[in-house]
Amino acid sequence: MSTRRAVLNCFRRHQRFVLTTHIKPDGDALGSQLALGRLLQKMGHDVYLINSDPPPSNLTWIPGIEQVEVFNGALAQRERIDQADVICVLDTNALDRLGDLAPAVEASRARKLLIDHHTSPEDWFDLQYVRDTASSTGELVYELVCAVDPNLIDHELATALYVAIMTDTGSFRFNTVTPTVHRIVADLLERGGLSTEAIHSAIFDTRTPESMRLLGLALRNLQLRYDGRVAYMVLSRRMFNETGASTEDTEGFINHLLSIRGVRVALLFTEIEKGVKISFRSKGDYHVNEWARAFGGGGHRNAAGAFVENAALDALVDAVLAAAPRYLPQLEASSAGNASGTLSSEDASYLSALLHQKSQASSTAS
């Protein structure tokens, strides 16, 4: 693992930087990218911000967001990536999470720098500034900014870092929030003159009528399993068609499940065109990252996700629920309701096929 000094030396020795992040970028991804970009610009560097996907509509107000290009394969974009001295990847440690940008990033002769707070980074990076106990990638970028010069923190930089940290800590509710995190936020508020109410409203008070109708359908069909400790909702394509909602409208749905008394684990299954997205959230020592990894995903102990291509929705729901006690020993003695806690032969076959598919994909990638 690279030291902070090695990363700072990289900043000082090179001139042309490309900054990117994962597909479907969230607040931590974009906030960290924009904040680091502003730091490097203040240091006098040439900075190019580019992602595979556009920002979600509730984050398009962040100062500097207009600088972020969406990759479309244009020759000029490929040349900027190829001619970079350093490509910095933020908030994701896997090449395939860069989406359409991945081949261009991989082919570039630039040094590859990772700044991230997820576990098990891939080994193709030349430098890594990683700490999986950090609340967010934004926290790590803040450390780098302060190591250069904390007086460089202005309103725009403070706003980007506040968005990064606030969104990835669930508005400061997750157990990754330490006294250090609160001190960082206090510093950002003082230096940036931020309005926390305005930022929170801009991000979260953006529901559409279609989103609320979809949430109503989902809540009507929520299910509890394992003595009420696991709650889940299913969003089918039929529900999207019926309400006119989009997948972007589902942001925050899963948090309603964790607010139910006694629930320790929440799951949201979202059926989209090419498969099913699974969101995992949990409290305390109910760690869900290995559970998500079993279905081709990953993430943090209390927040993870997976995407299963061409999955049959009902069969996948049953398989995921039935697999729960393998990864959450606290559930082994629980009554699972419709999910018994032991895999049926059908679910076992389905899970085996998924894991085999994942293994083949990993072998191909390596």
Both 198 and 215 in one domain: the answer is no
Please state the pTM of the whole predicted model: 0.85
Both 222 and 164 in one domain: the answer is no
pLDDT of the chain, 366 residues: tens digit per residue: 678 999 999 999 999 999 999 999 999 999 999 999 999 999 999 999 999 999 999 999 999 999 999 999 999 999 999 999 999 999 999 999 999 999 999 999 999 999 999 988 888 999 999 999 999 999 999 999 999 999 999 999 999 999 999 999 999 988 899 999 999 999 999 999 999 999 999 999 999 999 999 999 999 999 999 999 999 999 999 999 999 999 999 999 999 999 999 999 999 999 998 899 999 999 999 999 999 999 998 888 999 999 999 999 999 999 999 999 999 999 987 655 544 444 444 555 555 555 445 434 433 332
User: Of 204, 226, 244, which marks where a domain is finished?
Assistant: 204
User: Of 169, 204, 239, which marks where a domain is finished?
Assistant: 204
Both 23 and 89 in one domain: the answer is yes
Domain coverage including residue 357: 209-365
pLDDT for position 253: 96
pLDDT for position 151: 98
Both 11 and 103 in one domain: the answer is yes
Question: Which letter, b or e, does each residue of 255-268 get, where b requires 16 or more Cβ atoms within 10 Å of its Cβ?
Answer: ebbbeeeebbbbbb
pLDDT for position 141: 99
pLDDT for position 108: 97
Overall number of domains in the chain: 2
Both 200 and 213 in one domain: the answer is no
φ/ψ of residue 126, rounded to 5: -80, -35
Integer Cα distance of 299 and 272 in angstroms: 20
Q: Is 281 helix (H, G, I), strand (E, B) or coil?
A: strand
Both 229 and 128 in one domain: the answer is no
pLDDT for position 2: 72
Q: What are the angstrom distances between the C-alpha of 163 and each of 54, 156, 157, 218, 288? A: 17, 11, 10, 28, 25
The distance in angstroms from the start CA to the end CA of the chain is 21
The enclosing domain of 175 has a CATH number of 3.90.1640.10
Both 159 and 275 in one domain: the answer is no
Both 155 and 215 in one domain: the answer is no
Both 284 and 247 in one domain: the answer is yes
Both 67 and 174 in one domain: the answer is yes
Beta strand pairing status for 275-282 and 303-309?
antiparallel
The answer to whether 135 and 116 are in contact (CB under 8 A) is no
User: Of 155, 183, 204, which marks where a domain is finished?
Assistant: 204
